[in-house]
Structure formats: structure tokens, C-alpha cells
Amino acid sequence: MKPTRSTYSDYQYFCMRLQPLLEIAYEPATIPSILDRLFAVIGENLYIPTGYENPNKWTENNVTLITYGDSIYSRHTDRKPLEVLAKFLGENLKDTITGVHILPFFPYTSDDGFAVSDYLSVNPQLGDWEDIKTIARQFNLMVDVVLNHVSSKHDWFQQFQAGKKPGCDYFIVVEPGKNLSEVVRPRNSPVLVKVETVDGEKHVWATFSEDQIDVNFANPDVLIEFLKIIRFYIVSAKARYIRLDAVGFLWKEIGTSCIHLPPTHAIIKLLRELVNMIDPEVAVITETNVPNRENLSYFGNRNEAHMIYNFSLPPLLLNAMLQGKSDHLRTWMMSMPPAPLGCAYFNFTASHDGIGLRPAEGLLSDEEYQSLLTTMEKFGGKISMRKKPDGSESPYEINISLFDAMKGTVKGEDTWQIQRFICSQTLMMSLEGIPAFYIHSLLATPNDYERLQQTGMNRSINRYKWQIEDLQKDLEDPHSPRSLVFREICRRIKIRRQQGAFHPNATQYTLQLKRSLFGFWRQSMTRDQSIFCIFNLTDKPQQLNLRDVNLICIDPWLDLISGEMITDIYSKYILQPYQAVWITNKF
């Protein structure tokens, strides 16, 4: 049931919510016109009172898969990749995952989809909108809004070069002599790109590459354009999650770092308000691959992102598994605040990008940081660099299949790869937040050296494309790494989804155990279930003193993963190498 309508008129309420945010980014004289235009875009989809928002958009049942539209394809049939993906998901994961993040499925010119040339079309090589809607009918769909930049082949930029409206006003032109030394760079490419226009040579802002030209949100027309795009994704494509890609770089002011600026945060808050007006069940997630403190700022005051990526988790978890000790992971967890009411962490260990290193800044010792890089290179990984404001370079991310990243420890390769990998995924899905699995983690995909060689892009090493017939054959082989990992992780996901203590906002408390173990306590929102999540991070059996866990003697206890009953809470419990336990009082 919808809440009672506000006593304000629709438009008055609309203005009351949005005007303070617009005032942070735009000139006062322009704001009445901007409000009129925003109101017109939402039109018949406007939902008032806009103050209503469901703070319980998720439960312990929510689990997300991250995939490209063509991560699985068929070379033996005429079926498009999105059809193949929909069939695979329906047959293998319908009872396991609840959401699917399909990475940019639009026409594009580079960066595997993140240089979008048409936001309102589906790449015909992948399928069409009906294929997207088929997946959205079965799973909660997450759609990328690549709003910092467009492809150099997008109509807007073609209009810019031709001096035609509206695109001629959508981009940032900078004289090449300007001092841009303070600008934070995620890449080594120049921040300015020289292009030819009808008015001669110009230099335009390009944060990521010469084919990804930044749009100018200081022009409110750009804001209006992206609201139209977001509205289409929610209303027509039935998206349940709107992912704001690279949003931290949105606003540019020469003389500043051009990242996390106040107008950027104001526009995210504005978009959250507008999304809530279109459909209060839709969530906004920000992608900001930056140090932890900066990343946390995107929750705002419960009024910005509904979800933020837990970017510090992948490098810290990987380091803990390689070192066999929990020191830094435990210190980090103890410093992490609970997500605000109505917000959640989006937990992951791998993605289409590499394992970001900036989120680990200040969280690892110099020695362990260097050991992490050296070990990853030994296991076939690549290290991508970024240029700092002073002109020097520093590691930006590790590019490697996470499965191959777990083929050993800092001591070298060993025979524990599968157990170590499953332990890492179990730890991730136990944490406060919503778990997300990159498809190549779920499938234990190794490094793709062939694709790396073909593209020359380090990130290609973890973007393998499975031929469906080969994949099915592998999954049917009970002894293949793919089958072993896929079946066990899916089994644990299904167990997890039934536990109230794994609600994304359920209480989490770090346990003080010996460094070879990592553990924390989760308690359900109703306080009727506790789960003690404990992990052996080493290749040796480890003894756990159950007194350290503080089990209550009046309750029976069970490890949900193994099914083993805990009959003596004062005994010693032996965890085998890389064993994970979920010890609960409610089963």
C-alpha cells in the first residue's frame, strides 16, 4: 500500500526535495528552469510523496551475479549470447542467485563496453531489449549508467565536432596550457585529448582514454539527458539497481583533484531522489574504486548511494589468504562502521576489472604490499599502473583471475587452490552486506592469456568467454575444478540464503582469535539467531578453543556447512586447512 499523499502539491514537494541539491551545483537563476525540466521528464511516472522510500530493499536472500552479456556464448547455434546467458542462468542458478548485473550491453567502441555509443540500444551482437527483459523477469537486473563519459563515436560528440546542437555544449574544452597537475588520474593516458572540429583544433577532457570523452555536468542539459536514460532503464528495462560507473570523477574544477567534489555528491543525492520518485523499490549503487575513507563518503547521510562497493575487501582478503594470517583483515573490519539504515555494502572479491590497490592504501604494511604484488606476478598476473599528480607512477590494480590468484601462497604454488578459493568466497558471503559473485569466480576460470595477447589489455586476463558446450561438459565432470567450485559455492549460497543472521544489515562483531584464524559473529535483526563465522586461513590444521567464541551453553549448536553438531562447547575444535564453519544456534 502506498503511503498517504502529502499535503503539498506534487510540484511543490518535488521542488522542496531537489532545490537544495541543485543549488550546490548550478547558478540560482537557472534552477527554476531545471526543476521544470526534471519534473517534465519524470512525467506520468512521478511518484508522490517522494519522501517515502522502502528502507528494507533487501534480505539475506539477496545474492548477485556479475557478468558480461557474452561471458557465455554458443558457436554452434544461432542463439545470441544474451539468450545463451538467460538459458544458463535459468537452468543452473535460478535457485541460487537473485540478481544479475549485466555489464554494459550497449553499442560501444572500446573498454569492453564502457565507451558507450548509444545508451538506449542493445548491442545487436549480444541480443536485444527482449533478451534483457527476459533476464529481468527472472532476476533483479542491475544496469550500468556510464555517466562520466561517452564514446568518441557517440552522436553527442559527433555533434560537438560538427558544431551542432545539442552535443556542441556537452563537453569540457580546456586550453592546453592550463595547470592540471592536481587532477587525480586513474590511467596513464593524457587528461586532455586533441580533436578536430569545424572550429579548428580543440582539447577535450578525457579521464580514462582518448575514446572516452568526459561529459560536462556543469551544463544542466547533460543532467536532463542522463535522467531520461535512467528513467528508460527503470520503466522500460525493469532495472532494479542503477549502477553509477566511475561517478567520483563526475565534476571538474581546474585547480582541484576533480574527484569527490561537493557537486558530485550533490548530483548523486539528486539522482537518488529522482530514482525514488520513479520507483521507490529501485536502489542506486556507486562505483568508486578509491581508498576506504573516501569510498565510505558515498553513503552520505543516508541520502546518497543505497549501496557502495566494498572495494577494500578484495585486496585485504587476497593478502590474508596468501599470508595465512588475519591481522590486517581484522584491523580493517573493526574499523568499518555498520552501513546506515536503508543502505548496504556490496561485497565482492573479483570483478571485470582488476583487484584495486588504492582501496588498500594505508591498510597493508609496505612489506606485505610488495609481497602481494610479487606473488601475483609469479602466478601469472599483471600489475597496472596509474600516474600520480607529481608525474610518478604507482600500482593501480592487479589483473589476474582470482582462481589463479589462489593457486598458492607467498611460499609458492601448492595443492590447496580449490579449498583456499572456496574459503575466500565463503568468507565474503558471510560478511555484512549483499554478496556478489563475478561469473569467472563462480566458474573457477583460470587466466586467459590468449585474450590478453589478442587485446594487449591487462584486464582481458580475467574476461574469458566460455563456449557453452565446453562449459557444460566441464560442469558435468565431477572432478573438474569448475564443477567442484561451482557446486560447492552454490550449495553454500543456498544455505546462506536461509539464515536471518546473514541479513545485509544484521549485527557483525569481530572475534579476537589467533592470527591464523579469522572470525566474526553475526546476529539476526530479530536477535533469535547467532552465527559464528570462522575461517582457517592456512594450509595446516588449526585448533579453535570454543571458549574463545563464547557459545551459550543453553543452546544446541551446529556447523551449517558440514552439518556437524557441537556437543561440548568447552572443547577444542580442529579446523582443517582452509575450512570454514558457520556455527549457529538456530537450524
429 contacts 499 by C-beta, under 8 angstroms: no
Could you tell me how many helices (H) and strands (E) the chain has, helices first? 18, 27
Tell whether residue 111 is among the known ligand binding residues: yes
Q: Do the annotations mark residue 527 as ligand-binding?
A: no
Q: How far is CA 373 from CA 169, 184, 411, in A?
A: 43, 22, 13
DSSP string, 354-410: -EESGGGTTTS-HHHHHHHHHHHHHTT-EEEEEE-TTS-EEEEEEES-HHHHTSEET
How far apart CA 499 and CA 532 sit, in angstroms, is: 12
Residue 296, judged by CB atoms within 10 A of its CB (0-12, 13-18, 19+), counts as: middle
Q: Which three cell numbers stand for residue 427?
A: 568468507
Q: Record the cell numbers describing residue 157, joined without a space.
A: 560528440
Continuous H helices in 407-480: 417-430, 439-442, 449-455, 468-476
Cell of 36: 521544470
Gyration radius from the chain CA atoms: 24
245 is in an annotated binding site: yes
Q: Is there a catalytic annotation at residue 95?
A: no
C-alpha cell at 39: 519534473
327 assigned binding-site residue: no
Nearest to 463 by CA among 96, 1, 104, 5: 104
Listed in sequence order, the residues at least 6 apart from 485 whose beta carbon sits closer than 8 Å to its beta carbon are 403, 418, 421, 422, 442, 443, 444
What's the burial of 27, exposed, middle or buried (CB within 10 Å: 0-12/13-18/19+)? exposed
β partners of residue 492: none
Residues 393 and 383: their CA atoms lie apart, in Å, by 12
Cα–Cα dist 464/198, whole Å: 41
Residue 352 marked in a binding site: yes
173 by Cβ neighbours in 10 Å (0-12 / 13-18 / 19+) ranks as middle
Decide: 69 and 126 in contact? Cβ < 8 Å. Answer: yes
| Residue 537 · residue 325 · CB < 8 Å | yes
Catalytic residue among 70, 214, 245, 404: 245
Within 8 A by CB and 6+ apart from 7, the residues are none
353 marked among binding-site residues: yes
Q: Which of 100, 33, 116 is nearest to 67 (CA)?
A: 100
- φ, ψ (nearest 5 deg) of residue 442: -60, -30
Q: How far apart are the first and last CA of the chain?
A: 33
Pairing between strand 283-286 and 200-205?
unpaired
* The residue to which cell 521544470 is assigned: 36
Just list the catalytic residues: 245
Which residue ranges are tagged as binding site for substrate? 111, 149, 243-245, 352-353, 459
Known binding-site residues equal 111, 149, 243-245, 352-353, 459
